[in-house]
Amino acid sequence: MFPRFYPPAATNCSSCREMGYIVRPRGEFAQAEICACVPECTRCGGSGRMVIERDGSRQIGRCRCQKLPDRIRIFNTARIPARHARSSFVNFEISDASVIRAFGEAQKWVSEYTPGEENKGMIFWGMVGRGKTHLLVATLRSLVFTHGVQVRFVEFSRLLSTLKEGYSTGRSDTSLLTELSTIPVLGVDELGKGRLSEWELTIIDEVVSRRYNAMGTLLGSTNYRPADPTGAPPPNLAKPEFERQTLGDRVGWRVFSRLKQMSMFVQTRGQDYRTSARSISHARLTTVPNENAG
């Protein structure tokens, strides 16, 4: 069941699955647009404005057909990479029980999210290739279309290199830092990835602390076990990283304890999602939260 945006998408539209919008890779990012099946609004004739009688006077207001274009605009600023344009709850493939659990947690989290209030975040963790990034992107996408909340996707190592570039060229990139600190929902992919210098840890600390103080919501994914620092040495190539170090080892006490306060950790374990996706049941469940509600 998908309650729809207004005007409703065509029944049985195979392009948008009656959601009214489609998402495509365009350039570097995933971009949404209104599906061609959505008819012109008959209430406002497509102008988006309506005359409203209020307290005996006539005012110009926005037509409800503007809700979908509004949410599409928000989605198109999320900077979701083009390669994840198709990642949604609707096409998430389920491989085993713990992945089903993670999938269910993500959907529940979206349905319980309350705009304008403090919302505890969620970090998906597990070994490489367990659909973590798909779940992260699907959660961000669903948040936008369900609640109209502003979100931003950023890859951890990319975040660090961008900030570093800003500093090294003399303009400490405070606008980017401020943006990342104040966006209502930030999704960080591959938390803890890479060989982290002291400087990088300081920057992560700053972003996380500022978000913590601003009561922003943090979503994320990581290959590392969410446990306190163990003092294990940095990974070498002979052994998989996740077997040795914890997320605490990667980001340090201070950042890790903040992450624990700000987010819950959801494990995605199971078969390798990238190689076994064909052999498993499809996740088009009736429990998919409807992205068009609200």
Binding site for Zn ion (CB under 5 A): 9, 13, 15-16, 35, 37, 41, 43-44, 63, 65
CB of 12 to Zn ion, least distance (A): 9
Structure tokens at 218: 């943090």
Structure tokens at 261: 């306060």
Please report, in angstroms and rounded to a whole number, the separation of the first and last CA atoms in the chain: 14
Nearest residue to 218 via CA among 107, 124, 104: 124
DSSP secondary structure code for residue 282 in this structure: B
CB of 146 to Zn ion, least distance (A): 18
Three-state DSSP at 256 gives helix
Three-state DSSP at 150 gives coil
Residue closer to Zn ion (CB basis): 50 or 177: 50
Residue closer to Zn ion (CB basis): 13 or 176: 13
Residues contacting residue 210 through CB under 8 Å, at least 6 positions apart: 177, 181, 182
The Cα 173–Cα 168 span in angstroms is 10
Answer yes or no: are the C-beta atoms of 153 and 79 closer than 8 Å. yes
CB of 52 to Zn ion, least distance (A): 12
CB of 107 to Zn ion, least distance (A): 23
CB of 19 to Zn ion, least distance (A): 7
